[in-house]
Structure 1
Amino acid sequence: MAEVTVYTTSTCPWCLKLKDFLQDEGIPFDEVNVGLDSAGAKRMVEITGQRSVPVTTIGDQIIIGYDPEGIREILNSSEG
């Protein structure tokens, strides 16, 4: 399975929803709280060109916002 990283903040309700989705689906992920991790925040902006969260990276694919179907689609295509 491709490596999944989720960029979040502590106050973002969509971030919480995304993390709940990933946990419910049994999808392992690394979390970078950009509110607490300035290097992580800089990396997220370099990758996406924006500061809004949540952002999910799956390998070299980027999903901006809460998009469970997009995440499933990328993970399913990377398993094939």
Structure 2
Amino acid sequence: MTPVTVYTTGACATSRAVAAFLTRHAIPFTEKNVNHDPQARAELLARADVSSLPVTRVGDQIFSGTFRDQREGIARALRLTGGR
């Protein structure tokens, strides 16, 4: 399975929506809070040029923005049907 990491700043609506989507599709993922984990922050900055969180990394693909912005790309990257 392709590794999935969700970089967050804590509990936010988009982070919860991404986590719920992945859980609903039985996709294991790692959540890394960049506010509390300097190593996660450095890792994110090295991999992605983004200005807003959360960021979802599926393998080498990076998705950011609202859940609506991320959903289709995540679904495609994970080869989920329907994107829901």
TM-score when normalising by structure 2: 0.80
Q: Which runs of 4+ in 1 moved over 6 A?
A: none
Secondary structure at the aligned position of 1:76 is classed as coil
CA distance in 2: counterparts of 1:41 and 1:51, whole angstroms: 12
| Unpaired segments ≥5 residues, structure 1 | none
Q: TM-score, normalised by structure 1?
A: 0.83
Structure 1 residue 50: deviation in Å? 2.8
RMSD: 1.6
1:74 matched residue in structure 2: 77
CA deviation string 1:5-61 (max 9, x = no partner): 110121422111111111111111011111111110111112112342111111111
Gaps of 5+ in 2: none
Identical residues among aligned pairs (%):
39
Whole-Å Cα distance in 1 between the matches of residues 54 and 23 of structure 2?
Answer: 15
SS in structure 1 at match of 2:78: helix
Mark the CA change 1:36 to 1:10 in structure 2 (over 3 Å): closer, same or farther.
Answer: same
Q: Tell me the CA shift for residue 3 of structure 1.
A: 0.6
Query: Which structure is higher in helix share?
Result: 1
